[in-house]
Amino acid sequence: MILPLTAAARALLPVRFGHRPPLYSPQFPFLLLWSHKAASTALAQWFFAQIGSPQLRNGDPDAARRYAGLGIHGYQFDVHCRGALYRFHCRRALAGALPVIRFVRDPAARAYSAFLATRRAVVREQPGFWGAKVSRQVLAFKGLADPSAGYSFADFVDWLGATPTQAQDPHVRQQWMGFEPGRRIECVPIEDLAARLGELEQRFGLPPVSARPEIFRSGHHRPPPLRVEPPLLASLLEDPVPPGCFDHAPAPAVDSALLAGTGLGARLRSGLRADYLACPIY
């Protein structure tokens, strides 16, 4: 006999986490919502340092090496989030009384970071790399066949605005997901992340692991950005960038404040409307 779903269980069914299952543990005081290109590696390392996952603390040197830096995502997806009922427990936590905290990055800074990833030299060498796939999509949008051709951040923003959200790679797609509007979700910006995590540790009585420098080592940080005045910045962001141009050189800093009042900033706000509406501090 098949029993009918309760109203509470039925309410959980429409929630789809896709490529971004939250970080959840019954030992942890809140449900952690994260996004690609928004300190996801540091947040994963902080979360697992907090809950003391056995596979990371059992003294196995191979496991410690395998899950260091970016490798933490291997543990995140292949071990922690892989349980048959993991997503169900996340849905139940989302619908219950557990606090829900969404870590969010300035949408313009995140979009520019994704753009730079699509302009790495590796896009010509590793076609399976997510940045290479997005690069091919932007080039096709521009009508360019040469994989070594350059395109600008402005081109990237125009492609972003013309491409349906669900057709975008998760590293590029807006941070806020379809199940979030109308729910009790606290927004925590990742800018000054160590201080933000320290505040949460104090608030929830967690160990002060945010003081450990290794939490913030991901292996894909870039040289410090250049500060460029807004009038010149807007011009630079219209210039085509070939693959590899900024691999070892500093790129200009880009954020929503620097693009305020520009046509490019307006196009970006239109393309990432949900992010800007959900977190108006940007």
Coil/strand/helix, residue 199: helix
Closest of 156, 187, 185 to residue 172, by C-alpha: 156
Segment among 8-12, 81-85, 177-181 with least mean pLDDT: 8-12
Q: With 60 as the cut, is the pLDDT of residue 131 above it? A: yes
**Distance between the two ends of the chain, CA-based, in angstroms?**
52
Q: Report the share of the chain in percent with pLDDT over 90.
A: 58
pTM of this structure: 0.89
**Cα(272)–Cα(107) distance, integer angstroms:** 7
Phi then psi dihedrals of residue 151, to 5 deg: -145, 160
Residue 103: predicted pLDDT: 95
Q: With 80 as the cut, is the pLDDT of residue 59 above it? A: no
Torsion over CA: 256, 258, 264, 266 (sign):
positive
Q: How confident is the model at residue 134 (pLDDT cuts 50, 70, 90)?
A: very high
